[in-house]
Structure 1
Amino acid sequence: MTSDPTTTEPARYTVAVIGGTGPQGKGLGYRFARHGHDIVLGSRAAEKAEAVAAEVTERLASVPGAGKATGAANADAIAAADVVLLAVPYDGHDELVASLAEGGALDGKTVISCVNPLAFDKRGAHGRVINGGEGSAAESAAELVPGATIVGAFHNVAAPALWGDDEFLDEDVIVVGDSVEGKQVAIDLAASVTGRPGVDGGKLRLARVLEPFTAVLISINRKYKTHSGIRVTGLGGH
């Protein structure tokens, strides 16, 4: 991360996107790099990550001030970054996070989870119940990696919109976490997606609300054939 406290220049981060070859990870990585952050797309297979990074780089060729996009195996992506975004499916989540954290690889880093534990049946999408209703994917990550700062954000942003042509998406990113400093990282990065800082939504336990709420947006999208998001009103000059 580079920032100068004597200026109003926004902080610039190097973000490892774990799950960077999937639609959500690729889209968020693209948005971050489009607005000056460097990204390292991570995958189990470095070759796959490098191919998607090349696709992002091509898309950024005409964007002035864009950050760099590279691809690497997950462990190498994490080592190269100070911020880690988890953009992975919930199935196998705990095992993956535990493996990523081996050897203290995530210690001292800000880890942003946008993982949504969802299930689907004939009635549509719905949220899974985690830890008897007293848990979430983000909280599970915090338990697995106590040496990292875990933040929940970007749960409710539609992947197709992220890869779209609009400069910014007309919605807000709600950020939850127990660390003010950790939340600030995600709040800063949210501006790459919406053109304004993310909204501080409270403590990490409120990921229990944000994660399954994505199922509501999926239902709205099906009904209205759109890519809906959340907009928070009443924040004045936000």
Structure 2
Amino acid sequence: MRIAVIGGTGKEGGGMALRWAHAGHEVFVGSRDSAKAEAAAAELGKAVGRDIRGGSNERAVAASEIAVLSVPYAAHAATLQELQPALAGRVLIDITVPLQPPKISTVNLPAGQAAALEAQAILGEATPVVAAMHHVSAVHLRDLSHEIDCDVLACSDDKVALEKAMSLIRDLGVRCFDVGALRNAIAIESLTPLLLHLNRQQKGRSVGIRITGA
């Protein structure tokens, strides 16, 4: 599958790009800074032994079937507004958490109640949004030798888009669960500050979630 990682120069985006390339997918790292994206893609490609392309967010989306949004919440709305025409007809996986630094271990509900709900409102029906990948350590994603001890929760109002996204997420080496409508992103996104708080208590060790009995 052809995947655009919007904001792929960051730790989380780069980790996903690395793992998807390792799984055999075509990956395009995007950034507002094309040169930065090209350099990051070259570094990731060298690490995984596969070709990973890099360039502007617009070029990344144009080359993709499915896009992943991996940007800070402060850049969330502006990035989506810029890319809204290009994203039409594609599935968007939004991993954004509406954190409010410096209080990143405290739940913050944005005006639209969840980043993913705000994304869907901006993009409209032409681009189904899937909320997922909020709780997986970037450090673990970038270590291909590490078995990720964490499950992923995903939700969307579009069943076909959700199944497509979940299949792709499983290629990262994690289990992925359908947890219902996109409105449930309010709960999924709100779990991240709790995990960040636990990470601090565990002296930096990455805390994840596991679904038992499934």
> Is the pair's TM-score, using the shorter chain for normalization, greater than 0.5?
yes
Question: 3-state SS of the aligned residue for 2:179?
Answer: strand
Counterpart check, 1:127 vs 2:107: yes
Q: Does 2:69 match 1:49?
A: no
Report the TM-score, using the length of structure 2 for normalisation.
0.94
Q: 1:39 aligns with which of 27, 30, 41?
A: 27
- The sequence identity of aligned pairs, in percent, is 34
Alignment map for 1:146-225 (pairs within 5 Å):
146=124, 147-196=126-175, 198-225=176-203
- Residues paired across the two proteins, number: 212
Give, as a single letter, the amino acid of the residue that structure 1 aligns with 2:88: D
Distance in 2 (CA, whole Å) between partners of 1:190 and 1:229 is: 16
Q: TM-score, normalised by structure 1?
A: 0.85
Alignment partner, residue 4 of structure 1: none
Aligned counterpart for 1:82 among listed residues 65, 75, 78: 65
Cα displacement string for residues 8-38 of structure 1 (whole angstroms, at most 9, x for unaligned residues): xxxxx11100010011110111111111111
Classify 1:203/1:164 alpha carbon distance in 2 versus 1 (closer, same or farther; 3 Å). same
Larger Rg: 1
Unaligned runs of 5+ in 2: none
CA contact (8 A) 2:150 2:174 kept: no
Q: Partner of 2:74: helix, strand, or coil?
A: coil
Q: Taking structure 1 as reference, are residues 119 and 195 closer, same or farther at Cα in structure 2, changes over 3 Å only?
A: closer
Q: Which consecutive unaligned segments of at least 5 residues does structure 1 have?
A: 1-12
Give the alignment's Cα RMSD to 1 decimal.
Answer: 1.5
1:96-141 deviation per Cα after TM superposition (whole angstroms, max 9, x unaligned): 110111xx2111100000001112447x62122222xx62111111
